[in-house]
Amino acid sequence: MITILVHLVLWILYSGFEGIREGYYFNCFPKPAKPDIHVLFTLQRLTVILVMCATSPLIFLAMALMFPFFHDGFYYATRHKLNVVVYQKGFWSDPSSTSTAFLNFKLKDRILMLVGSLVVIALYFSLFI
């Protein structure tokens, strides 16, 4: 159980740091690189999550569901900090209409996904621990 909790905390930290890193990256390079840098970011995240989730497929699902809440929130907050004109609501912003990301989730969708991940975690602990 401790291992899974440590993985979840590390994943939340990783998600936030990825958002901050990308906030700085896209502030410096607002036009996406060719080939699209999102492919590299996605491959990196998949590698990290697969290594961390050797413990349970359910935790893998929970981690995947919670990623956008923390990543996107910290991305929007970082971009707003660097340029107060963009993402006026900071962490609680919605994606811009010019985003080139594979997946864009509005705030309400990110919150629903986070709640879904917490339900998966609660079910996991109630059924298997």
Q: What is the pLDDT of residues 58-108, one digit of tens each?
A: 788 888 899 999 999 999 999 999 999 999 999 999 999 888 777 899 999
Position 117 confidence tier, pLDDT thresholds 50, 70, 90: very high
Residue 107: Cβ-neighbour burial (10 angstroms; 0-12, 13-18, 19+):
middle
Domain ranges of the chain: 2-128
Residue 32 has pLDDT above 70, yes or no: no
Summarised one tens digit per residue, pLDDT across range 14-26 is: 999 999 999 999 8
Residue 37 has pLDDT above 70, yes or no: yes
Rg (CA), the chain: 15
**Is 103 in a helix, a strand, or coil?**
coil
Alpha carbons 110 and 68: distance in angstroms, whole number: 6
End-to-end Cα distance, the chain: 7
What average pLDDT does the segment 43-70 reach? 83
- Are 43 and 102 within 8 A, CB to CB? no
